[in-house]
Structure 1
């Protein structure tokens, strides 16, 4: 029995109305290297054999009586992999749009709590004989980086001639009884009291520093204006987040698209501008949303605010979720793509410098741990009510997440994994999610939208590709702003977790 942390349990406690907090990963598989016997039946059999060997896929959620405290994960004594595995055929001609239409239906439905929090689909009928695998899992089970590190190794190998070596699982213990769950709740409550004391101890000096820094910033503002300031002092960035069609209430429907570029192209652009790959990714996302707003509405005078998950996972971290978040304001109103990239680079640098400050700090992870699950469920249920929609401000318009994935090729029973495309969750007033995974020299982008407000997310994926071309055409002739070592360190640090 393993208790979920506050961050782990957000996807469970905050799911309400049309908000389903899970990830769907599309894996494209080329069966030709494995020979003529590798078909959909063979792929299904491989999955049925290998998946149960990973302890994560056997974990079932158990709630405490009256839902007091956070739920726990236990090894499901009734686990049956065939309850999770399904098969689908993509309609002709089997191209990306037909595959994405299947992802729409897979991604829209919520995972139940009566079995482990994942499902998978073997998809056949793709053009040129390829196969696909769609895996949907709750964010409570793993974040994006955790999925790369802890789920993929069960299925895939770095050697086409050798399968991954995972031991057969032992028998599961019975589900915990009421006494066990209440005892865990008491231990959890005692831990939260101690945690609250730590937050107060860390937060008091941090609050004092924040107030002092704010007063100094206000005092220095007239001098900055007198000297002309920097691009990121544009008063429009300090305005309230703009109200746009991107933050209309969502429905349960989903709309998906995906695209891919060479990772070296992203690195080359970062080197040319003296920024990180993550900066280039966010700048292209910003341009894509700007182009969508130009085509469907008007570009606002204020900023868009985006949710950017930041991985805090170390090499030996086996937690379900290890991430924090940053809110980044996007200069979508700036017409020049290079100017937008410069502002974004400054914004991400501020996030990194703030996170790297000396001394103990209070992070969102510390605070979420102290929020009672019942209170979070009530807040989420209230948040999705139509009656509240006119009163709530736009918290964020989109989510941008960049996940570092395997650097070399991976194999599944001799078949080659060609690409990975992730599709993240939407929130009540957030209609777009752009998540990318790097794999074997490729940068795979998955885009999710709510079709009631964003009718065709292929427009956004196409605009993202076009934005990279625009940056390529506007390459600066001057020296970059940072050294290669600084950019490499930043890219390693900024890998996001959704």
Structure 2
């Protein structure tokens, strides 16, 4: 009974409700092949079953005398967690996005281990998709990583990073009296843990009182669309419901590198990450204007951007290899200048802010195990989301995680992964989250939104390619046609909208 959740993880579990499920998802899209989906399901069952954490569930201590513990689930059934699903015809990205939006809208079953894997058939190209869901408390970067990481092949085709742990005889269920006794021992031997729990409870009560007081002025805040702090009155800070929308963007990473090179040559050194944020800012600007909201010079949207400070050979997206790092995540706060009409000035502003944040001590750092093996992006996205959840929602209107991924293709049972997109949860009062991953020469972006709060998410998604073209034109770069994959994605999405 020593494997107890931290006070922060316990608070996360208790704060979760039906409006804000706190799990992180990942989509892996596999190339068309003759592989049997049943073989993929069997491999997922085998690989996840070898990791003990994926066979454990959270048990509350009677009376909440102490924080919950991780305990082996005697009724663990991997086939319940790994499911086969199929998209309706025609199986384009629009149908995959709707499938993802529906399964991430609901909370995971607390009586079972907190993860799911869906093997999805029926894609228009004949390939498969694997959608994983992991609760934030399951992924701490130390004892466990995201389930996605154990599904991918190593170069030798072996289990990637999972514990080669044979399942012994079925574990017995832990009785409530044992949980209670273990909590008493902890209270006696580690009284500071009890004090931490009390402090956490007092903090929760204070937060509740503050939220009640704030509700009386919420409507007035939303009228201040041009607030200089980028949070008050933001249309992205609204009450969220239980339904979600999800959209993916598939872009060419080389186009962002060309913009970086052109800007640097013009005298403004920037990173590819700065370019990605600027394109998102341009999309948000067009989206706000499409809503008829006043977008003035000083209008901004305050984003919290958790950045991986761990040096990596796949760091083209962050370009942080020359920055002194200690192996951690850093929360950078950036006022995205949606009110700036000039794309080059937007890029310069974001580059300056990011540089200042990364080289100052003002960010919020979270310890992270250096040298994460395997396919680290899903774990880092989850850790970034945890970092956002630990902060007050008043500090930012939007979370944008940016995680550089491998630039060589990964495989599942020898089948290449052609694309991967993150699915970040929504926090209380946050109607949009954005996850960015670079993978195999592409920039993969996943946007999750509240279905009621952002009914016009498609307008934002359609504005992003236009913001890219604007930035290319600003630096005199040719606006090249989009890739066939991007064309198919956009056309399929627009066709689905027309049909609806």
Q: TM-score, normalised by structure 2?
A: 0.71
Question: Aligned residue for 1:297?
Answer: 292
> Where does 1:331-350 land on structure 2 (aligned, <5 Å)?
331-350=337-356
Provide Cα deviations, 1:160-213, integer angstroms capped at 9, x if missing partner: 7555475233435753532113333555542586999xxxxxxxxxxxxxxxxx
**Whole-Å Cα distance in 2 between the matches of residues 461 and 119 of structure 1?**
27
> Where does 1:88-487 land on structure 2 (aligned, <5 Å)?
88-142=85-139, 151-159=147-155, 164=160, 166-171=163-168, 172=171, 174-175=173-174, 177-186=179-188, 189-190=191-192, 238-239=228-229, 241-273=231-263, 274-301=269-296, 302-311=299-308, 323-355=329-361, 395-475=395-475
**Whole-Å Cα distance in 2 between the matches of residues 194 and 453 of structure 1?**
36
Paired residue secondary structure (1:448): strand
Offset of 1:394 from its aligned partner? 5.4
Deviates further, 261-270 or 18-27: 261-270
Paired residue secondary structure (1:245): coil
Offset of 1:363 from its aligned partner? 5.7
**Whole-Å Cα distance in 2 between the matches of residues 174 and 438 of structure 1?**
43
Indicate how the Cα distance of structure 1 residues 344 and 45 shifts in structure 2: closer, same or farther if over 3 A, else same.
same
**Whole-Å Cα distance in 1 between the matches of residues 292 and 468 of structure 2?**
23
Offset of 1:311 from its aligned partner? 3.8
Give 2:41's match in structure 1, choosing from 44, 48, 60.
44
Question: Aligned residue for 2:29?
Answer: 28
Indicate how the Cα distance of structure 1 residues 7 and 441 shifts in structure 2: closer, same or farther if over 3 A, else same.
farther
Indicate how the Cα distance of structure 1 residues 150 and 92 shifts in structure 2: closer, same or farther if over 3 A, else same.
closer
Indicate how the Cα distance of structure 1 residues 68 and 351 shifts in structure 2: closer, same or farther if over 3 A, else same.
farther
Question: Aligned residue for 2:12?
Answer: 11
Indicate how the Cα distance of structure 1 residues 431 and 29 shifts in structure 2: closer, same or farther if over 3 A, else same.
same
> Contact 1:54/1:151 (CA < 8 Å) preserved in 2?
no
Offset of 1:423 from its aligned partner? 1.0
> Contact 2:29/2:420 (CA < 8 Å) preserved in 1?
yes
Paired residue secondary structure (2:359): helix
Indicate how the Cα distance of structure 1 residues 412 and 333 shifts in structure 2: closer, same or farther if over 3 A, else same.
same
What is the count of residue pairs matched by the alignment? 400
Gaps of 5+ in 1: 197-235, 316-320, 366-379, 381-391, 478-498
Offset of 1:399 from its aligned partner? 1.3
Question: Aligned residue for 1:72?
Answer: 69
Q: Which structure's residues are more often helix, by fraction? A: 1
> Contact 1:61/1:71 (CA < 8 Å) preserved in 2?
yes
> Contact 2:328/2:365 (CA < 8 Å) preserved in 1?
no
Provide Cα deviations, 1:317-372, integer angstroms capped at 9, x if missing partner: xxxx9645333222111111111111111221221122389xxxx8688xxxxxxx
> Contact 1:62/1:74 (CA < 8 Å) preserved in 2?
yes
Paired residue secondary structure (2:350): helix
Indicate how the Cα distance of structure 1 residues 173 and 347 shifts in structure 2: closer, same or farther if over 3 A, else same.
farther
Paired residue secondary structure (2:283): helix
**Whole-Å Cα distance in 2 between the matches of residues 322 and 10 of structure 1?**
22
**Whole-Å Cα distance in 1 between the matches of residues 38 and 393 of structure 2?**
50
**Whole-Å Cα distance in 2 between the matches of residues 188 and 421 of structure 1?**
42
**Whole-Å Cα distance in 1 between the matches of residues 416 and 311 of structure 2?**
28
Offset of 1:240 from its aligned partner? 6.1
Question: Aligned residue for 2:492?
Answer: none
Indicate how the Cα distance of structure 1 residues 404 and 13 shifts in structure 2: closer, same or farther if over 3 A, else same.
farther
Offset of 1:303 from its aligned partner? 2.3
Question: Aligned residue for 1:61?
Answer: 58
RMSD (Å), alpha carbons: 3.4
Gaps of 5+ in 2: 199-225, 264-268, 313-326, 368-388, 478-500
**Whole-Å Cα distance in 2 between the matches of residues 141 and 334 of structure 1?**
41
Paired residue secondary structure (1:469): helix
Offset of 1:431 from its aligned partner? 0.8
Provide Cα deviations, 1:372-393, integer angstroms capped at 9, x if missing partner: xxxxxxxx9xxxxxxxxxxx99
> Contact 2:29/2:129 (CA < 8 Å) preserved in 1?
yes
> Which has the higher relative contact order, 1 or 2, with Cα contacts under 8 A spaced 6 or more apart?
1
Indicate how the Cα distance of structure 1 residues 149 and 71 shifts in structure 2: closer, same or farther if over 3 A, else same.
closer
